[in-house]
Amino acid sequence: MPRPLRIYSNSKIYHIILKGIDNQEMFYDDQDRQVFLKHLLVTKKEFYYQIYAYCLMDNHVHIVIKVENEFLSKAMQSLSIRYAHYFNRKYQRVGPFLQNRFRSKAVEDKRYFMEVCRYIHQNPENAGMVKTEDYKWSSYKEYIGKEKIIDKSILLHYLNDDIKEFIKFTTDCEKNDINNFAEFELIERLTDEELTNIIMKKFNIDQYEKIIVFFKEKTKDELKVTIKQLKNIQGTNVTQLARITRMGRRYLEKIWKKEKREPAPN
């Protein structure tokens, strides 16, 4: 099946997502994140693009950039190849590293631009990791401090060049106020077979038949930790997980919701 044609932006501004293959983590430690940002800066200079926002999550990356349309694919391919080469060499792995090609969505108006920048900066808090202002690996810290990678003049211009207004705009809104369109197809629904393979890899289970036993042998406290890990697998839901693990859907749902309410550990 041929790939869909990429839609180019009249504004030349894009919301980019890079995602680890099979939802696998892209970063194992802070050195990995520092190397990724180093390669991001190198490709920025090489392909003459501007960066307005970014956030490094565990298994995906958000970036808002302005780039000449003819350089878009080359720039993101260069970034992906450089980081994949580093990652595979460091962890002695082979094979594809990222999920298919990068994703891009054209940013054509002020509203979407502001909303997607806010969404990206709030991504760690929405994921239950840490408060927006405490996350080290997003451009939020550059907006309130010194620019290293980003160009913050555009977003701040829309906020009257006022850092306090930026902080209020980014952190004061309720999660439900953030428009879901900012995610734009990051979450793909997994098939049962795909999810089963991910669970087996994630928990080092060598046979499908052992999945049910694996969860049955867990204590209540161990199950809470394990269910939190399951919740972080994107593209699945409680019903599908209950079907594959044979855990009760209501029990899963109860823990699932509780984990969402609990603050992330320091």
Q: Which tokens go with 122?
A: 């709030």
pLDDT class of 182 with cuts at 50, 70, 90 = low
pLDDT tens for each residue of 208-228: 788 888 988 888 888 888 888
> What does DSSP say about strands 103-106 and 50-56: parallel, antiparallel, or unpaired?
unpaired
Please give the average per-residue pLDDT across 172-182, as a whole number.
52
pLDDT class of 39 with cuts at 50, 70, 90 = very high
pTM attached to this predicted model: 0.67
The radius of gyration computed from the CA coordinates of the chain, to the nearest angstrom, equals: 20
Edge-to-edge strand list for the sheet holding 13-19: 50-56, 60-66, 13-19, 103-106
Question: How long is the chain?
Answer: 266
Listed residue (191, 170, 155) closest to 64, CA to CA: 155
| Distance, CA of 1 to CA of 6 (rounded, Å) | 15
Please give the average per-residue pLDDT across 128-149, as a whole number.
92
Residue 187 has pLDDT above 80, yes or no: no
Query: Taken in order 169, 170, 174, 175, is the CA torsion positive or negative?
Result: positive
- Average pLDDT in the chain: 83
pLDDT class of 197 with cuts at 50, 70, 90 = confident
